[in-house]
Amino acid sequence: MTINNYSVGRFVALAVILVTAYGCQSELVPLPEVTVSIPDEFKVGGTAWQKQTTPQQADTDCLSNFFARNQDLVGSPEFEGQPTVFHAGKRDRRFYWLHSSIDGVHWQCVEFKNRRFSVTDGTESPFNKL
């Protein structure tokens, strides 16, 4: 029995249709909605951080400076979206990005304090450990 390219092509097409139609019928289980309670203020090491309701130009400038110094993080999915901003005094800032996934909450924090940037990350709520 000889098999030509036309027969192989028809077989592959039929297999793809059958797998697509019948082979992937497992029920989609919705991900649990994970929420993090973001406080209006918190303290770390004696420093009081106040949540900002709207970002200020100084916040945008601070983040622009951070990403200019850390080009490898520009476009990173961990830093997508609008961060939650906290201030401590006039210049110190914390920017939190919170993302839900199948594993729970993942977060990143860019802190600008004492004229220096630092980055921390973790899972679950960053505010529960304070």
- Tell me the whole-structure pTM to 2 decimals: 0.73
In the chain, count H helices and then E strands: 2, 6
pLDDT at 8 over 50: no
How many alpha carbons lie under 13 Å from residue 103 in its C-beta half-sphere?
7
Q: Domain extents for the chain?
A: 41-123
pLDDT at 6 over 50: no
> Model confidence over 32-89: pLDDT tens digits?
566 788 999 999 989 999 999 998 999 999 999 999 999 999 999 999 999 999 999 9
Local structure of residue 126 (DSSP, 8 states): T
Residue 127's pLDDT is 87
Task: Give the span between the Cα atoms of 79 and 63, in whole angstroms.
Answer: 11
